[in-house]
Amino acid sequence: MSMNKETIVCGLDLGVYRLKACLARVDHVHAPEIVGISQVATRGIRKSSISDLQDVSDGINRILNGLKEKSKLDFKDVHIGLGGHFIQHRKTHAIIPLADKGNKVITTFDIKKINHQACLLGINLDEKLIHDFPVQYVVDGFNMAANPLGLHGRKLEANILIAVAQSNLINNVHKAVQQAGFDVKTVAFSSLRSADACLADDDKKRGCIFIDMGVEATSVLIFKEGVLKNLGILNYGSNQLTEEISRKLNLPFDLAEDIKRSYAMVLTGDDSAMIKGEILVKRDASYVTIDRQSVCQVVTPWAMTLVEKIHQLVRQADLEHHLCAGIFVVGGGALLSGLLESMEQKFSVPTKVAKIQIETKQLNNPAVYAGCIGLAVQRATDGLPVPFSQVYKQGSMLHKVTYRLKELYQEYF
């Protein structure tokens, strides 16, 4: 019997600016193959909510049926990714006794139990858990362990980072997808899936910052020792920069957006004198000129504030000097010229637009598609060692019983 069952997996990144979808052919033997990718302009999604269900569902219908037609492949289940502006995150903590008296060997069951309790304590009533990342365990109050499995102890503590979303939002997403004729298979944080698609395990081990710069928010993920150590979602997206240009130079928003893309540049030290010239723009019926340097003078302090905020997050995580693999950036905001150079200067580590780890054919802008690709080829490396979310995805009863028996065996022999 062949175990190599091929499946078609669809990832859909619900961005504020664009919906991005990817179809991948996945089996147990070969590397996943991308068989379709597409984007459409988003309508009906605002900052942190769905403002028009019909618009969103029409967009989903268009992008997914388009992929179906082009690829001639059929699918119904979709893995949804939500951007940082939809996600809240916090640290949570729990402590459990391991044995009535004496010591006990810590099993996966104990770890699952404490993860579960910490998550329950960290989630509010109107929220749904999206991811959990065990950051650290403490055995007997002093022994810090990334993975306590097999250690002896009397009590176990867990510090867990959780990412949650409003239940109403999740319900609305389900509704929009169903209305479009598809089913939601999973919901994930798209920046995390981007990171999974772009970072090698070695990057996560050596330490790196992964930045996803979207429309309304910038997500900052800090990895070290192979796990997500800290997560920051800054209320600071590429749209604010357009608004700033529009306000300070007194230009309509759309024009400010064009100028941002074509002429804006973050100036780093010496190159400030080099930016000269004027931009000719059409305004009403006539043309006006805008000094290019004045655009850069709006963009530079804005970008510096963003870089400073990212720096603060890294310092809070106490990882400033442990980011050997450098900084990786994705999302449309990463295309702002000079931004990566200013990050590189601030952090003194290599900074680049992230590359997707699996082979992709002729993608003109892979950094924008990283989220949907990650959703379609997910390797689900949410954390160590057993993410709480997986507790709900257990197998058959027989599997559970044999698993528990194995654990009891480990515990007593």
Ligand X SMILES: Nc1ncnc2c1ncn2[C@@H]1O[C@H](COP(=O)(O)OP(=O)(O)OP(=O)(O)O)[C@@H](O)[C@H]1O
* Residues of the shown chain interacting with ligand X in the complex, contacts defined by CB under 6 A: 15-18, 83, 85, 214-217, 237-239, 242, 257, 260-261, 331-333, 335-336, 368
Q: Does 237 bind Mg ion (CB under 5 A)?
A: no
215 touches which of ligand X, Mg ion, none (CB within 5 to 8 A by kind)?
Answer: ligand X
Whole-number Å distance between alpha carbons of 348 and 368: 25
Q: Measure the CA–CA gap between 172 and 52, rounded to whole angstroms.
A: 10
Q: How far apart are CA 384 and CA 381, in angstroms?
A: 8
Structural contact between residues 116 and 133, judged by C-beta atoms closer than 8 angstroms: no
CB of 135 vs ligand X, minimal distance in Å: 24
Whole-angstrom distance, CA of residue 9 vs CA of residue 189: 17
Which DSSP helix (H) or strand (E) runs through 198?
Answer: helix 190-198
**Please, are residues 203 and 328 in contact by the beta-carbon 8 Å criterion?**
yes
The region that residue 238 occupies, defined by phi over 0 for left and psi between -120 and 50 for alpha, beta otherwise, is alpha
| In the complex, least distance from residue 294 CB atom to ligand X, rounded to whole angstroms | 17
Task: Give the nearest distance from C-beta 192 to ligand X in angstroms.
Answer: 12
Q: How far is the CB of 218 from Mg ion (least distance, A)?
A: 10
Shortest distance in whole angstroms from residue 363 CB to Mg ion: 15
382 binds, among ligand X, Mg ion, none (CB under 5 to 8 A by kind): none
Find which of Mg ion, ligand X, none residue 229 binds, CB within 5 to 8 Å per kind: none
d(CA 317, CA 177): 37
166-225 residues near Mg ion, rule: CB under 5 A: 214
C-beta of 122 vs 374, nearer to Mg ion: 374
* Cβ distance to Mg ion smaller for residue 59 or 83: 83
Contacted by 11, from Mg ion, ligand X, none: CB < 5 to 8 Å by type? none
Of 251 and 330, which CB lies nearer to Mg ion in the complex structure? 330
E-assigned strand segments in 55-198: 77-82, 88-97, 104-105, 127-139, 143-145, 152-153, 155-166, 183-189
Report the residue number, 15 or 207, with the smaller CB distance to ligand X: 15
- Which C-beta is closer to Mg ion: that of 24 or that of 211? 211
For the CB of residue 239, give the shortest distance to Mg ion in the complex, in Å: 12
Total residues contacting Mg ion (rule CB under 5 A)?
3
Q: Which of 133, 80, 16, 74 is nearest to 376 (CA)?
A: 80
- Cβ proximity to Mg ion, 83 vs 387, nearer residue: 83
Q: Which does 18 bind (CB under 5 to 8 A by kind): Mg ion, ligand X, none?
A: ligand X
Instruction: Select 59 or 214, whichever has its Cβ closest to Mg ion.
Output: 214
Region 76-105 residues binding Mg ion, contact defined as CB under 5 A: 83
Sheet holding 18-26, edge to edge: 33-41, 18-26, 7-14, 77-82, 183-189
Residue 115, both tokens: 């993860």
DSSP, res 100: S
Binding stretches for Mg ion (CB under 5 A): 15, 83, 214
